[in-house]
Amino acid sequence: MQLKIMTFNLRVHVESDGDNAWPNRTQAVAGTIRKHDPDIIGIQEGLHAMLADLEQLLPEYAWIGEGRDGGTEGEYSAIFYKRDKWEVVENGNFSLSEKPEQLGVKSWNSSHARMCTWVTLRSGTGDQLAMFNTHLDHISEEAQLKGMELIRERMRNLRARTGLPIVLTGDFNVIPEHEAVAGLEREGYLNVYSVFREANREVGGTVHHFKGGESGETIDYIFLTPDWRIHSVVIDRERHEGRYPSDHYPVVAAVSLR
């Protein structure tokens, strides 16, 4: 099984962004997604109305998820998938908190309620995978570490129950040396940026605040269980019709099962 995986922080709609506010970027986001044609996408910072906009522009995709404050409230960590290729087997959401079954809960000095959305998918040819998508807190290191510990536990449990290969996408809000990243690597998860290291290339920044350029922090990630082989990784730093689609660059990995 070969597929393309994208992680993409959309930048939540903020009117004070002016020319870079969501209504002016919607077409650019959809165009960037169409350009890469990913099979599955982990979205961060998407409000319900933003996801509805993309649903209209990208009818080839379906999506699952809830707002981090419950129902349609708050930012989503939604998962988009090609509707003609995949069907949902099971899915769910949990908060990154001491009450994971309740969305909208803040714990561990988190600045906002944080969450993770997950899904297991089956293709028409019978291939299956599981995907988790999240957005860690940007302030509290305790929340970053304990949130990722909870995600690792949930992935470990799902893998023990199903044996499925797993994909984890997200805006972790931490640099590659951080323990939230290092812990995943120690547990055997593959960081797609290893392709850059093997080629002696710098990864560069994935967040740019609508300024562009390659400098800055690497905070957007794709991780995989060892079942996968990584063929290529692209951090798309291009404008779409003269406009940056978001203040984060989308990251796209081409992978296959071993």
Question: What's the confidence (pLDDT) of residue 199?
Answer: 84
Give me the sheet containing 128-135, strands edge to edge. 86-95, 115-123, 128-135, 166-171, 220-224, 190-191
In this structure, what token pair is assigned to residue 239?
């404008």
Q: How far is CA 203 from CA 27, 34, 191, 217, in A?
A: 27, 24, 12, 9
Successive 10-residue mean pLDDT values, the chain, 258 residues: 97 96 98 98 98 98 98 98 98 98 98 98 96 98 98 98 98 98 97 89 95 96 97 97 96 96
Question: What's the confidence (pLDDT) of residue 198?
Answer: 84
In this structure, what token pair is assigned to residue 49?
């109305």
Query: Domain 2-257 has what CATH class?
Result: alpha beta
Tokens 């984890």 — which residue?
168
Question: What's the confidence (pLDDT) of residue 21?
Answer: 97
Question: What's the confidence (pLDDT) of residue 197?
Answer: 82
pTM: 0.97
DSSP code, position 15:
G
Question: What's the confidence (pLDDT) of residue 61?
Answer: 98
